[in-house]
Amino acid sequence: MTISEKKVYPRTGDNQTVYLKNVVTDPSIAVGEYTMYNDFVNDPKDFQKNNVLYHYPINHDKLMIGKFCSIACGAKFLFTSANHTLKSLSTYPFPLFFEEWDLDKATVTDAWDNKGNIVIGNDVWIGYEAVIMSGVTIGDGAIIGAHAVVSKDVPPYTIVGGIPAKPIRKRFSDEVVSSLLEIKWWEWSDERIRENISAIQSGNIRDLK
């Protein structure tokens, strides 16, 4: 058992930050170890209610978040049901109100276009009040700027920002990114990570052991 599996609050006296894996109960939300969420407005334990929106079982879509991610206050994950279908001649969601319009209840999902799962890699930093849309995959080590609206996939170790979010720059050279994706330090044991924290923080991949 890792340290993160033993506690909800990583820091003594700080009830605004939680290990997300230990407060999420929805089986369609998977969170890796040590991923943390900070909320100074609402109770961070209510993440799945306040931050994972339009996430209904009828769509069978999932939110998957990797290990060692940092999610800032107010970040939102908007799922398929937030969308209105673009195939219709009208943006009005008639199938959603099947009783009113004598429609088959089974067609309710025709009201929106199903974009699929949201997949967040490992060691991803999601900034204050950023919005991640359904169907998006964010690669390992990426950074999402504050208030960004992410509607397209983000490559590993890329910084994005804006509305809609666009690449700003890569965090490291292609060579270093390839090495990090091969090393996958987030899969190491707690002991090995602890031994390498100074090396990780140094920013020099050659210091890892």
Q: Is residue 189 part of a domain?
A: yes
According to the model, what pLDDT value does residue 207 have?
Answer: 87
According to the model, what pLDDT value does residue 73 have?
Answer: 98
Give the 3-state secondary structure of residue 135.
Answer: coil
For residue 177, count CB atoms less than 10 angstroms from its CB and return exposed for 0-12, middle for 13-18, buried for 19 or more: buried
User: Over the stretch 1-11, which tens digit does the pLDDT of each residue have?
Assistant: 566 567 999 99
**Are 134 and 191 found together in one domain?**
no
- Domain interval for residue 140: 3-79+116-171
pTM summary value:
0.93
* Domain CATH code at residue 137: 2.160.10.10
Ranges of the chain with pLDDT below 70? 1-5
Taking Cα atoms as reference points, which of 53, 54, 22 lies closest to residue 37?
A: 22
Residue with tokens 């050659």: 206
Please answer whether residues 94 and 105 qualify as being in contact, where contact means their C-beta atoms are separated by less than 8 angstroms: no
d(CA 139, CA 64): 12
Active site residues: 84
**Are 72 and 7 found together in one domain?**
yes
**Are 52 and 33 found together in one domain?**
yes
Taking Cα atoms as reference points, which of 50, 41, 45 lies closest to residue 7?
A: 45
**Are 160 and 177 found together in one domain?**
no
